[in-house]
Amino acid sequence: LLMKTLILRNRFEVEKALTLSKPRKINFIPTMGNLHDGHFELIKRAKKNRNINFVSIYVNPLQFNDKKDLDNYPRSLCRDLKYLEELGVGMVYLPEKGFNLNNTSTIQLGEIVNKLCGKNRKGHFEGVATIILKFLLIIKPEQIFLGEKDFQQILVIRKVIKDFNFDVKVKTVPTI
């Protein structure tokens, strides 16, 4: 028996859905879509504690240095939604284009972005951090699930959580 996945398109729909959800404990799995086995493992791990599993699919323009890379990023929304339904994900946030349209504020992360792959990806992790901050403010999850494949990203997200005093546990899952 598959549960119906709730598709949310803006902050107001998210807030309303979360207000109606009791108990309101959220596992958050942020993605850019084009889901694969690594994402599925994050969701399976998140399901183990009976909280609501909340997945975002958002191709974040702030983390791309080259517009061609953004334009060419693979998108498979229909397939992704089918998988999420099959996995029993409760809520999926697909932010509308206006979600980040006029965003002029970004997070400054300091030296953490000048190490590892951040040395060659100027602005990438600031873009990641900015969008994750927006998601955390809207969704207010209890836990966020991240793959160890993106090790530097985990460090950046932990820094955002600590610096902005979020009460969110970071759960990491080995690379699949």
Catalytic residues: 39
SS3 34: coil
Residues belonging to the chain: 176
Task: Judge residue 140's burial from the number of C-beta atoms within 10 Å of its C-beta, 0-12 exposed, 13-18 middle, 19 or more buried.
Answer: middle
Question: Which residues does 13 contact at the CB level (< 8 Å), separation at least 6?
Answer: none
Q: Is 26 exposed, middle or buried (0-12, 13-18, 19+ CB in 10 A)?
A: buried
* Closest C-alpha among 48, 45, 41, 63 to residue 117: 63
CA pair distance 30, 97, nearest whole angstrom: 17
